[in-house]
Amino acid sequence: MSQPELRRDISAFQAVMILVGYIVGSAIFILVGPLAGMVGPGLFLAFVIAAVPAVFACLYNAQLANLLPVTGANYIAISRFVHPFAGWMGGGILIAIFFGLASIAWGFALFLEYLIPGIPTMPVALGVVLLFGIVNIFGIRVAAWIQTSMVALFILALVIFVFGGFSNIDPGLQRPLLPNGIGALLTTAVIAYMTYTGFTVITEISGEIKNPRRNIPEVLAISFLLIMILYVTVTWVLTGVMPWQDLGNSQAALVEASKGFLPPGATIFIAVGGLLAAATTINGIFVATPRDLLVYGRDKVLPGFVGHINQRFGTPHGAIMLTLIAGLAGVSIGMRIEDYALFTVMCFMIFHILVVTGMLRMEKQMPQLGDAAPWKLGRIARKIVYFGTLLFSVLFLVVGLSTLDFFGIALFTCLFAVGCCYYLLRWLYFKGKGIDIVKEARVFTSMTISELKEEYPSTLTKE
């Protein structure tokens, strides 16, 4: 009996809401305070710099969506065209879940603690992860509509903050622009990039988006422009209405700053917006990440239950459960939100390097995918995007590693070492049964072939 497949239920509008909600998390409400304390009034410049690799990420994902419009496209690009082991380590997806989901969950809890002093933060962080894990088991359509509603409300909160604060900007607060120097600006930009991480999500759910080759480039363009405008305007207004030194000690910078120019009701709405922004990212992680893990399960890299799809709801319930477990484990460590953010960014930098390497090899090994694509970058544009992504990824990775203390480097290294050992043991286990999971993972699965046939009139498979 054939396994049920994922359904193409997501419209272009819902895809924009999923992507914006995933990327714009509580960090813009909470993390901007500590970041302002690091760099000063030039905080908006850090977000502009962080946007550069985000542009490259958008462009290569638009290209990937047209070449390989399938579920878990990033993992497929790495495992099939670089090496299956590289696909497993591909940016450390479980590590990214471990730290990324925990970062946002703690952001939600800390924001709620600011609003309701004394509330226990650990149970709140664990509870919100558990809630959205359960919600996503009941279908992506339900999760998408919940996402749409929450995104609309938190965007409204940010717009109210920007327009309310614009006329109250004190130019004196924004001088000097970089009191802590260029080094602080670069370090801040690396951490700020966390607020842009997630454009790869759109290609992870390609198998569930209607007309993905047409819609995904448009979704990426709209989402990026909206997100960058929000980030730059919010941070510019923020440092103009509140001293950057005070922002550095703030747990809820936007809420505290808004008290100086908005009525109490609007300030409360800003606070609710912060909670919703965190919730949309947590929900977005549960929408996207299990689709990658689903392919891991079908490649036998993860236990078989991870590769199953619920017949009733059409969701990868096993992969959602694994995401839930990893997220709860990450929350339980209880690190600072800035540390979580830095770890998440470093995982994504490794991920970008491997995906782009896979795309370079894919275009050589399967040129027919590019020939059949309705939209693609020109030859020169591809080189700029690919090598620009590699350059910024390496740069941000080096800066991130130089920022970590000994414990941070040891933890990061140990987690990847555990991943390597796990893969080796998994390979030896199946080798003993006469199955070579490395060899099997070099070809497309039946699910990937099925999704490709939907988009391409002719059969396009990797032999």
Give the residues across from 209 on adjacent strands. Answer: 10
pLDDT (0 to 100) of residue 1: 43
Which of the four CATH numbers 1.10.8.60, 1.20.1740.10, 3.30.70.3040, 1.20.1640.10 does domain 12-455 have? 1.20.1740.10
DSSP class of 242: S
Alpha-carbon gap, residue 76 to 60, rounded angstroms: 15
The label of the residue with tokens 């619920």 reads 310
pLDDT (0 to 100) of residue 393: 87
- Give just the sign of the alpha carbon dihedral 356, 358, 360, 366: negative
DSSP per residue, 282-340: HHHHHHHHHHHHHHHHHTTSS-GGGG---TTT-S-HHHHHHHHHHHHHHHHH---HHHH
> CB neighbours (10 Å) of residue 129?
26
Q: Is 211 left (phi over 0), alpha (psi -120 to 50) or beta?
A: left
Cα 454 to chain centroid, rounded: 27
Give the residue among 129, 180, 103, 105 at the shortest CA–CA distance from 346.
103
Beta carbons of 178 and 40 less than 8 angstroms apart = yes
Alpha-carbon gap, residue 254 to 277, rounded angstroms: 13
Give the residue among 1, 7, 88, 4 at the shortest CA–CA distance from 438.
88
Measured distance between the N- and C-terminal CA atoms of the chain, rounded to whole angstroms: 24
> CB neighbours (10 Å) of residue 192?
30
Ordered by start, the domain boundaries in the chain are 12-455
Alpha-carbon gap, residue 185 to 414, rounded angstroms: 29
Beta carbons of 282 and 129 less than 8 angstroms apart = yes
Tokens of 37: 């304390």
Give the residue among 29, 103, 43 at the shortest CA–CA distance from 338.
103
Alpha-carbon gap, residue 246 to 380, rounded angstroms: 46
pLDDT (0 to 100) of residue 163: 94
> CB neighbours (10 Å) of residue 223?
25
Residues of the chain with pLDDT under 70: 1-7, 26-27, 91-100, 334-344, 455-463
For 2-33, the pLDDT digits (tens) are 555 666 778 888 889 888 887 887 667 777 88
pLDDT (0 to 100) of residue 246: 92
Alpha-carbon gap, residue 386 to 60, rounded angstroms: 7
Give the residue among 347, 412, 454, 399 at the shortest CA–CA distance from 49.
399
Q: Is 183 left (phi over 0), alpha (psi -120 to 50) or beta?
A: alpha
Predicted structure pTM score: 0.78
For 236-287, the pLDDT digits (tens) are 999 999 999 999 888 788 989 999 999 999 999 998 998 888 888 888 888 8
To the nearest whole number, what is the mean pLDDT of the chain?
84
Residues 6+ away with beta carbon under 8 Å from 349: 91, 393, 394, 396, 397, 400
- The Cβ-side half-sphere exposure at 448, using a 13 Å CA radius, reads 29
Tokens of 96: 């990214």
